[in-house]
Homo-oligomer: A and B are copies of this chain.
């Protein structure tokens, strides 16, 4: 009897790339809000999802540095289960409801890649870095204080894809304008059978369910952001026409479920 939430399934279930949910995450985020060109960003949306007309092109780029654990003390296996990721979220609408559409996502770890695909986040491998804060005061430690600057960057296969800076202005009680919409992604697993390469085995529009979301140490400030052009990527098409606020905060949440909005393999999926 083989065990495992994902392949490779094995006698003990210890070899699986991803342990079974619930999954727990805790980390630090550097985020920048921006506006891209809605004439371009409209084309990144799947059927049934539309731009949010009240906030045309409003998006956020998130750089996340986090630790993961399942039920088996995975946080004590930091080489396998820490990860740094980058994602873009675009303000959109699904059947009249505000959502955040996730067109692109990158992470530096194989388990994170697979968790992403299972959650509908289309992760590719990316090297992600962000300035850190440490408890001692030092020129080497960015303090959570007014005017402190934090930088972040993301590269894939040696190409710089995203670069950000946030200059802190003030501490905030609540996170407004980022992570206040449910994230919608697309679970997609293709067929390899000849003639069926464009008929995926799985093609579902899904809405994430974050349990026990905690956000703390919220600082808001001035954001800077750019998406350099890179061969083999289309992230730059969503690049900022205008950049807004920057955010720096810490978070934790858990994932045990997902909401399936539509099965896109069915012609009339509405």
Contact = CB atoms under 8 A, between A and B. Distances in A.
Nearest to A206: B192
B43 A141 contact: no
Interface in A1-49: 2, 5-12, 14-15, 17, 20-21, 24-28, 43-44, 46
Contact of A138 (B26, B122, B132, B232): B26
Interface residue tally on A, bucketed by range? 35 or more
A10 to B, nearest CB: 4
Q: How many copies of this kind of chain does the complex include?
A: 4
Nearest to A154: B158
A contacts with B: majority SS: mixed
Interface of A: 2, 5-12, 14-15, 17, 20-21, 24-28, 43-44, 46, 66-69, 73, 75-80, 82, 103-105, 109-110, 113-114, 117-119, 122, 124-125, 127, 129-132, 134-142, 149-155, 157-160, 165, 186-190, 192-194, 197-198, 201-202, 206, 212, 214-217, 231-235, 237, 250-260
